[in-house]
Amino acid sequence: MDRLPILKLGDCLLVTIQVDMHDRLALALQDDLTNMIVKTGARGVLIDISALDIVDSFIGRVLGNIAAMSRVLDADTMIVGMQPAVAITLVELGVTWKHVRTALNVEQGMGRLRASIDARRTEFGGGRDDRFS
């Protein structure tokens, strides 16, 4: 599989990773998501990694980079469904995610993402966040 499907739900993008993630696929996801944020004007990105049993340091860094790039493009990122073994591995590898928020599942993550988007919309008078303009 060369690409992961990205679904648009309102002003959010949803990616559910259902295959083993390899380096090329992670980089393709990074490119595809940043392009989709710009193309659709999405305000949020939700990445479901519940099917991933293993995440190495490269994949962990790419997920963090996706969140940082999304933030610069005025979209919040939420990663959901992390398995305990993945969390342990990321901590042991020293992978830190400054711009990444996590939730246990898609429902919880989407709720928190919507609340964050709505709060920013209210804070900035209904328009897009101009902190990065």
- What are the pLDDT tens digits along the chain (133 aa)? 589 999 999 999 999 999 999 999 999 999 999 999 999 999 999 999 999 999 999 999 999 999 999 999 999 999 999 999 999 999 999 988 887 899 999 999 999 999 999 998 887 765 554 444 4
Coil, strand, or helix at residue 68? Answer: helix
Model-wide pTM > 0.75: yes
3-state DSSP call for residue 115?
helix
Look at the block and give the residue holding tokens 């083993």.
20
Domains of the chain: residue spans and CATH: 6-124 (3.30.750.24)
Q: Tokens standing for 79?
A: 């990663």
Q: Tell me how far the alpha carbon of residue 3 is from its chain's centroid.
A: 16
d(CA 19, CA 17): 6
pLDDT score of 125: 65
pLDDT of residue 2: 80
| Cα–Cα distance list, 67 to 74, 91, 113 (Å) | 10, 18, 13
Would you say 52 and 75 are in contact if contact means Cβ atoms under 8 Å apart? no
| The two three-digit tokens of residue 87, written as one number | 């969390």
